[in-house]
């Protein structure tokens, strides 16, 4: 069963039908896949059973958003400069404006 209570995409209904999956919009009903449009809820991760899957990795936004990726890479470069020398100097504006101007 695919839970679609947090999605707006109608194509999931077609995909479920072609794959012989049932659809659910009930949060309490047992499911195999939970399709979510936004970030995954930590509370959902704690309730998941071993066979259940979701379409998002937890905290992937920290890598997918350019500003957070830049901030994380800069922190790692400060901590481990020899290992994190593979990307150009990066600033997150406006918070890094002073360093950018220097």
pLDDT, one tens digit per residue, over 58-90 is 777 777 788 888 888 999 999 999 999 998 888
The domain limits of the chain are 2-54, 61-91
Give the per-residue pLDDT at 42: 79
How many CA atoms are closer than 13 Å to the CA of 67, on its beta-carbon side?
A: 5
Find, among 4, 2, 7, the residue nearest to 31 by Cα. Answer: 2
7-42 pLDDT, tens digit each: 888 898 888 889 899 999 888 889 999 998 887 877
**In this structure, what token pair is assigned to residue 90?**
């990066």
- Start-end of H helices in 24-96: 42-47, 61-64, 66-79
Q: Could you identify the residue written with the tokens 């504006």?
A: 93
Q: Is the pLDDT of residue 50 over 90?
A: yes
Rounded CA gap, 21 and 37, in Å?
Answer: 19
Residue 56's pLDDT band (cuts 50, 70, 90): confident
């Amino acid at each position: 069963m695919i839970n679609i209570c947090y999605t707006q995409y109608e194509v999931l209904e077609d995909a479920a039908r072609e794959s012989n999956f049932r659809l659910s919009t009930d949060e309490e009903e047992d499911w195999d896949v939970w399709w979510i449009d936004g970030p995954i809820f930590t509370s959902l991760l704690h309730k998941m059973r071993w066979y259940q899957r979701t379409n998002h990795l937890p905290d992937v936004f920290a890598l997918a958003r350019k500003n957070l990726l830049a901030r994380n890479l800069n922190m790692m470069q400060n901590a481990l400069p020899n290992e994190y020398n593979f990307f150009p100097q990066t600033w997150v504006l406006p918070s890094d404006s002073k360093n950018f101007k220097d």
